[in-house]
Structure 1
Amino acid sequence: MKAIGATLFILVFCHCLAIAQSPVTLTGEVKVKGEGPAPYANVLLLKKADSVLVMGALTDSIGRFSLQALPAEYLVRINYLGYQDVIIPISVTSTETMQALPAIFLSQQAKKLNEVVVTAQKPFLEQKIDRLVVNISNSATSAGATAFEVLSKVPGVVLVNDHLSLSGKTGVVIMINGKPSPYTDMESVIKDIPSSNIDRVEVMNNPGAKYDASGNAGVINLILKKNYRAGFNGNAVIGGGFSTYNQSNVRSDDRNYHRLTGSLAMNYRQGNWNIFGNVDYMRRSVFEVNNYDRVVDGTLYKQTNYYPYQYSTYNFRVGVDYSLSKRTVIGFLLSGYHRNGEGTGRTYTDLLPLHTMKAVDSFRTDNTTNINRTSVTANLNFNHTFDSTGKVLNIDLDVSDYYYRNEGDIRILTADQSIVHQFQRGKTPLNFWTFKADYEHPFSSRLKLETGLKVSSVNIHNDLLFTRNGEYDPHRSNIFKYEEAIYAAYASLTGEHKKLKWQVGLRVERTGNKGYLADTLALKRDYLQLFPSLFIQQEINPNLFIHFTYSRRLDRPDFQLLSPFAYFIDSLTYAKGNPTLLPQLSHAARLSIKPKDWPTFSVAYSYTDRVIYREAPHQEGNVTYMHAENLGDWQNITTELNYPFKIGRKLDGYSGIQAFYNQYKAPFADSLYNQRKWNWQVYGGFTYKFTKTFSAEINAYYTSGQLNEFTLTGSSSGINLGLAKTIMNGKGKITFSVNDIFYKNQTTSRVKYGDVDMKYFYRDDSRNARLTFSWNFGKYKVNSNRERTTGSTEEQDRF
């Protein structure tokens, strides 16, 4: 393996040295007179003799473009909606490798056009060479949903026991606008965030050196919507949802559940100033059903748990960008989130000896929970473009405060009507800051260097109080403090030679952390790790490309897993953290074949050592608990076929199939755990446009049983339907959707190992109907606006 890796690196650098210098790189800028850059304008390079198209490009977000041409006479033509076309003649000579063109200025068309609302939209699924892009902003089945519900529709993403997995692997890193938050439970956070401000989802299985090393399972990046319009404009969304169920099988008379969502986004751009912001709100009543069947010493403990709850969430984001000059922008961004929810879960437990299967005892457990989350993040950012060749510096400073409070009031009512009362309260304030700087330096149109550094620091204080029948329990109450600092630097070199494109990168991360349990040092670590990455794309012919990626990854244990406290789900079930957990290390490689206009096929392999088992099962009397532990190794093989398609002007969609293999091998409970399983899933969807203003969307998935650590899950499926109608001359849209129509998005699981024999069933409010109305208002002329991605800038397409 080392020899193969060394050979690949040598070949890449040899290609770098052999880069041909004959083509000349043309660079330039397109601007609107009196207003600034013209983002995403069409730039066409034509032969002067016959106006035959040589190549085309789009300007970037600040109006820059780059073209390649052999020495000759050409015309450069610029088209931009609402402005007169500009054509300039140029002469390319062989005396230079780079040629900077003078700035090109656009003027408005002499005849003022009526306001134009652009209704063209991207396909739902786009298969890029280094990532899968899911465009959900115009998806009818995503309107009015939460971010978590949106991710459940992403190809390859499966819900396993209320946790996201990607290609059969858990531990997915979730980012918002390229910004991770490894110290908070992002899966819980995105369950409370409405989808109205999400533009697209990027799925990256093997991120490059520019990204943090965390995430063996891959990275899911939620990209928020961005407004490029000049003047004052915005968007307002209001929606509602409803669902109904028969809950008699969990001994409840509840039937109806609802949701209400609303959001408002506004943007004002004039001169050097750009002020923007958005706020959204959601109120929802929902439920979860968690049923357990466990066998302990010849007795079946049959538990039926129904947990209805309601919550409200508020999110806001407000910022300002100011152009100090034509090439320098400074910005400030303030964002926040608050969630308040409460509910009472009721568990009925029956004890049935296996030889008679008749109940000999029963009791009821009521668990009233109150969960609050609040976070505020301030970001100061700086962007400077040095010249028209693409040298760019981005600097970000983030400071965040996060507070989490969880109360659980547990009352156990026995058959003789006696009551056992337990109470637990967890408080977790969290403070962290991040400094990040990224620099891009093109040496030519075929060779570019990206480098940067990042420093982050976090302090977490977890205070857990536990009482039993009103008396303080010192064995289950404690205070855990955690400190962590990470220093990282990276460099990556991207280049091409003839039909070969490549990127090599190296990231260095040093991590130091300490944990204090009741002011006693419980853990202390300081380690340095190197994370190489490699990306290669070979063009076989204009219709066939082969792509290979490799990266070394690291997964640090979540703070929730390091906290050594027991969190009770009910009187017989709890989860417990482990402060001695070590990071797990992985090697991941992927080979993809991408024919033009045909399905993309890929096969991937990853090997992980010192695997963090989030839920290693233990039996302690009649109580089952899950304990986080480092155990053995894990191998994953994934094969994937994705096919975006378009038929005529009315129908476009996607389809795909995945098969993945998981093997876990670990010494545990005085024996060797060695299990393996193949799993497969199929997914697809399409949108049909009946007219220019009315369309229908349907998407569906099916996944077979899956092995995840000690848990074997059963199959699940779902079908979603949506209708969308554009009104008000394209400014308004009404969307109606029904999700999980046949209510098959449910999970059955089995854990059987050592003393633990448990079956688990889970379902929630996945079948629901939603009605949403959105309205765009204000000026609709597109103008330049910077994409704001805070502490980790959005990675551009590599090739």
Structure 2
Amino acid sequence: MRRLTIICALCFVATLALAQRITRHYDNVSMSKALMELNDLQHEYTVNFIYDELEDFKVTTDIKHEKLTDAILQIVGFYPIRVVKSGEHEIFVECTHKTDRHLTGTIIDEQGEPVAYANVAILNPSDSTLLSGGVSNESGYFAIPYEQPTVLARISYVGYKTVYRHCNQPNVGTIRMQPDNYTLNGVVVQGERPKVVLQGNSLMMNVEGTVMERLGTAEDVLTRVPMIAKRGEGFEILGKGAPLIYLNNRKLTDLNELRNVQSDFIRSVEVIQNPGARFDASVNAVIIIRTKRAAGEGLGVELSSWSRCGRGYANNERINLTYRTGGLELFANLFGAYNRRKSSGEFEQTVFADTLWVINNKQKDNVRNPFLEGRFGFNYQINDNHSFGGFYQNTYDNVKTRSEYDDDLQADGVPYDHLQNSSVRRDKNAPTHQVNLYYTGKVGQLSIDFNADYTSRKQQSRNQQQELSTEYEDRDVNTESQTRSKMFAEKLFVTHPLWKGLIEVGEEYTNTCWRSRFDNPEGYITNSNNEQHESNIAPFMELRQRLGRFQLSAGLRYEHVESEYYVNGIRRDDQCRTYDDFFPSFSVSTSAKNLQLSFSYAKRTTRPSYWQLSSDVTYENRLNRQTGNPYLKPVKYHNLNAMVMWKWLYLMTNFSHCVDPILYTAGSLEEDSKVNFVTYLNYDHADWLTVTLGAQKNVKLCDRITWTPQYNMSLMKPWFKSLFNGQEKSFSHPMLTLQLGNIVLLPHDWLLQADFNMHTHGNTGSNIWVDCTNPMLSLSVSKDFFQRRLNVKLTGNDLFNGGINHVMLYSNRMMYRKMEDNDSRCIQLSLQYRFNVTPSKYKGTGAGNSEKNRL
């Protein structure tokens, strides 16, 4: 009982100590009001001051878990105010320059944003001698004591023209500052805050206050970020593949959502090329989009429409509703789309078996895809330190594909057969349920982040294929496959200051159940019934420190994975796996004047998708079948990354050593050697080096017209060898990529964009040869109306129709040459209207994110 009493007493003392810590947000509040509130929030000190003396001084700041004395010093800032502690419980706050007058005003820049820490000097109008001075606060407000009836105010800030004002009234109102321009040979170069900076092992691009705010959507902004390339409907980090994309720490499961995040809501975009221990070991790169602080109450409505017309047609519609009151936010999102795609292709397949088979194929696909997704959820912010929330999402996706094939078959140079194929494939992915719950909080100096996810998905595919042969029997092939999967995941990590930095400790757990059934009533393909259970537990720790000019971070993640494989309900011990591995990461960065340097290392992995592990067989024609491989091993990467930045120039290098890469391979069917059996195999290793040189700069052509070029040149050099037709073949030819982006900002809210991309022939780090350059030119024009509530944008994509792909795949006994036209040349029109819309406060980061991608 005595021990319990002592423990309770200690907890009570600790609680009182915590209570003396103060967390508040002040937005243009008078100093007197702020001091009165601070006095009432604690009981250790009495704050004494003269109300009228401090009333004109405004406060804009965030106080986070500070002692009373530190909180008062923070709100005083650069004001001419003295803070004196008397005795043990008395604090006196007084103005050091006691006058009846205070010169007050607000300083903004050319875009209407507040200018913090601008210098304001009070001069004598007759001889310009200095009488007094001060600095603007975070809201651009200043208050400076003065005595003379008339004074001369001088307002200055680096990069802006100095402003002089004769003042005979205490309030000078709003002062708008203009950039300081220097004209050289008819070209105006404007001083600006750097758009791209290095922060540790991350590359950060500032969007707020730049022309990037005017691009339209988050999707448009990402195409302007160094190292990011648009690939079809997704994005790729050069040399790293597809990244995970987060919006305010919430992972995006639907990239269409990027089209509905307005660019002027975005504060910054961060690219992490070597993610630390907090992220899944299978994540090679991360993009984090951060938006501005949410504000506003009541109902917010956002309507958007996006249409695309080429040979096919697509139309997307989205409605976003938010309602905010106090700390509660309710939101609902409804997204609907109807896509009709037409694509065509030709391929030539050469099979080196006991007979030399050559197959020439022409294919046309017509795809119709209605899509519907709904999400609703809530977020509740208890105070500045605690918030929680959740959402439920349901997706309906139905794809119908009509395909027509013509195959000419030759055996040893002699015509063998002609096949005419027609198929109708129906893929139904419904329902897909997803639930996320999260909590973020701060207790003392300890920050807590918890997420839990549940996903359930049912996928069904039916294919009816008719194969007509000129020389042999006709075939009707009907296949049906059904996949069900469930996943539960949770992630918890805590952060605490340590020495000159912080330490982060956490764990992540994922449990997955995946079932697949395949049927072919005609018996051309063996039926199958597979099931896989997998669990993954991963504790991790990361330490970040600042030592002088150097920022250091080191992390370690341990993953224990247990995988069980069942065939027809019977456990296959030889296909069950247990993986135990450590994934270290390290980074160091520094800066000196305009030069920034960063170096990092990380070990990562990629586990095979469940389809790659499946033994289900896909029937293409009587000479081609495809299946997975349950014996595949995870791929491991050792990534070294270095970045150098000087002003607006940047150089980035990445070297990856890949162990057990997974590639396509072709073999013969045991009972019929002429039938090609395509599957996946692990190869020994592959290496590649990626070097990117880029520049991004604002150039002011004339008054109110700004040109922003962003040019990147990237060289990828792979080192890889594999067997082809019984001999070792090298796939080490380098590939050069060129990205030329141009933005022209015009008066009256007009914006023009012109982009050109291309690459040379070369290898991609696998057994594929890219035999095309893909020169693609895109132009767009957009206009804002009604104070930027309505945006209209017209885009012409791939105007020269250079997006036709030509690739060659060399695999064991097969050479595969393919031409594919995915209808990239098209016209797009987008309309977006917003009413009282602000970015969501939702802070959930999700758990089991890499596992969702595998499913």
Do the aligned residues in 2 keep the contact of 1:278 with 1:317 (CA within 8 Å)? Answer: yes
Which of residues 243, 246, 259 in structure 1 aligns to 2:314? 259
Structure 1 equivalent of residue 590 of structure 2: 538
Mark the CA change 1:157 to 1:32 in structure 2 (over 3 Å): closer, same or farther: closer
CA contact (8 A) 1:642 1:656 kept: yes
Question: 1:361-760 counterparts in 2 under 5 A?
Answer: 361-374=417-430, 375-387=432-444, 391-415=446-470, 419-443=474-498, 446-468=500-522, 472=523, 476-522=526-572, 523-539=575-591, 541-595=592-646, 597-613=647-663, 615-620=664-669, 621-648=673-700, 650-666=706-722, 672-708=728-764, 709-714=766-771, 715-760=773-818
C-alpha contact (below 8 Å) 1:227/1:267 kept by paired residues: no
- Tell me if 1:215 matches 2:273: no
Aligned-pair CA distance for 1:238: 1.6
For the residues of structure 2 that align with 1:543 and 1:150, how far apart are their CA atoms? 25
CA displacement, residues 488-543 of structure 1 (integer Å, 9 cap, x when unaligned): 1111111112211111111111111111111232321222211111110122x211
Superposition map of 1:174-253 within 5 A: 174-175=244-245, 177=247, 195-197=259-261, 203-216=271-284, 218-219=285-286, 228-244=295-311
Greater relative contact order: 1 or 2 (C-alpha under 8 angstroms, separation 6 or more)? 1
Shift of 1:237: 0.6
Q: Say if 1:151 and 1:461 are closer, same or farther in 2 by CA, change over 3 A.
A: farther
Find the counterpart in structure 1 of residue 386 from structure 2. 328
**What whole-Å deviation, never above 9, does each CA across 1:616-655 have from its counterpart, x for those lacking one?**
2335544434311111111111111122211126222411
Structure 1 324/215 Cα, relative in aligned 2: closer, same or farther at 3 Å?
closer
- Cα deviations across residues 120-177 of structure 1 (Å, max 9, x unaligned)? xx999845443456899998999799x7x9988876566889997643555x354454
Aligned Cα root-mean-square deviation (Å)? 4.2
| Pair 619,157 (structure 1): closer, same or farther in 2 beyond 3 Å | farther
Normalised by the size of structure 2, how large is the TM-score? 0.71
- Partners of 2:665 and 2:811 within 8 A in 1: no
Asked if 2 retains the 8 angstrom alpha-carbon contact of 1:411 and 1:421, the reply is yes
Could you tell me which runs of 5 or more consecutive residues in structure 1 were left unpaired when the two chains were aligned: 1-25, 39-56, 79-85, 94-100, 115-121, 245-256, 795-799
Which AA in structure 1 matches 2:303?
A
Shift of 1:763: 1.5
- For the residues of structure 2 that align with 1:792 and 1:288, how far apart are their CA atoms? 34
Aligned residues of 1:140 and 1:735 also touching (Cα < 8 A)? no
Q: How many Å separate the matches in 1 of 2:398 and 2:207?
A: 27
Partner letter of residue 370 of structure 2? S
Q: Whole-Å Cα distance in 1 between the matches of residues 587 and 375 of structure 2?
A: 35
Contact kept, 8 Å, 1:479 with 1:517, in 2: the verdict is: yes
Distance 1:783 1:411, change over 3 A: closer
The letter of the residue matching 1:607 is H
Q: Measure how far apart 1:417 and its partner are.
A: 9.3
Deviations 1:465-501, CA, capped at 9 Å, x for gaps: 1233xxx45x521111011111111111111122111
SS in 1 for 2:698: strand
Cα 1:572–1:691 change in 2 (3 A) is farther
Q: Is the 8 A contact 2:227 2:237 kept in 1?
A: yes
Q: CA shift at 1:225, angstroms?
A: 9.8
1: CA distance, partners of 2:477 / 2:571: 29
Choose 1 or 2 for highest CA Rg. 2
Question: Paired residue for 1:30, among 13, 25, 37?
Answer: 25
Equivalenced residue count is 680
CA contact (8 A) 1:562 1:577 kept: yes
Q: Which amino acid aligns with 1:693?
A: D
Q: For 1:125 and 1:361, locate their aligned partners in 2 and report how far apart those are by CA, in whole Å.
A: 61
CA offsets 1:40-67 (integer angstroms, 9 cap, x no match) = xxxxxxxxxxxxxxxxx997xxx45699
CA distance in 1, matches of 2:473, 2:466: 10
CA 1:402/1:438 → structure 2, altered by over 3 Å: closer, same or farther? same
SS at structure 2 position matched to 1:676: coil
C-alpha distance in structure 2 between counterparts of 1:575 and 1:150, whole Å: 39
In 1, are the aligned partners of 2:198 and 2:645 still within 8 Å (CA)?
A: no
Q: Which SS does the other structure have where 1:716 is aligned?
A: coil
Contact in 2 for aligned 1:310/1:341 (Cα 8 Å): yes
Deviations 1:59-78 (A, max 9, x none): 7xxx45699xxx9x988579
Aligned AA for 1:526?
T
- Alpha-carbon distance in structure 2 between the residues aligned to 1:710 and 1:629: 12
Show CA shifts across 1:318-374 (max 9, x none).
Answer: 221223445222212112322111021111112356758xx6632211121111223
Shift of 1:788: 3.6
CA-CA distance at 1:92 after TM superposition: 11
What residue identity is the alignment partner of 1:167? Answer: L
Q: Per the alignment, do residues 163 and 733 of structure 1 end up closer, same or farther by CA in structure 2, a change over 3 Å counting? A: closer
Greater shift after overlay, 157-166 or 647-656? 157-166
Structure 2 portions without partners, runs of 5+: 1-20, 35-58, 86-92, 94-136, 143-170, 175-191, 851-855
Write the deviation string for residues 70-116 of structure 1: whole angstroms up to 9, x where unpaired: x9x988579xxxxxxx96846699xxxxxxx9xx999999x9x99xx
Q: 1:58 touches 1:65 (CA, 8 Å); kept in 2?
A: no
One-letter code aligned to 1:362 = H
Q: Is the 8 A contact 1:290 1:305 kept in 2?
A: yes
Write the deviation string for residues 405-448 of structure 1: whole angstroms up to 9, x where unpaired: 2222111012269631111212111100111112121236x311
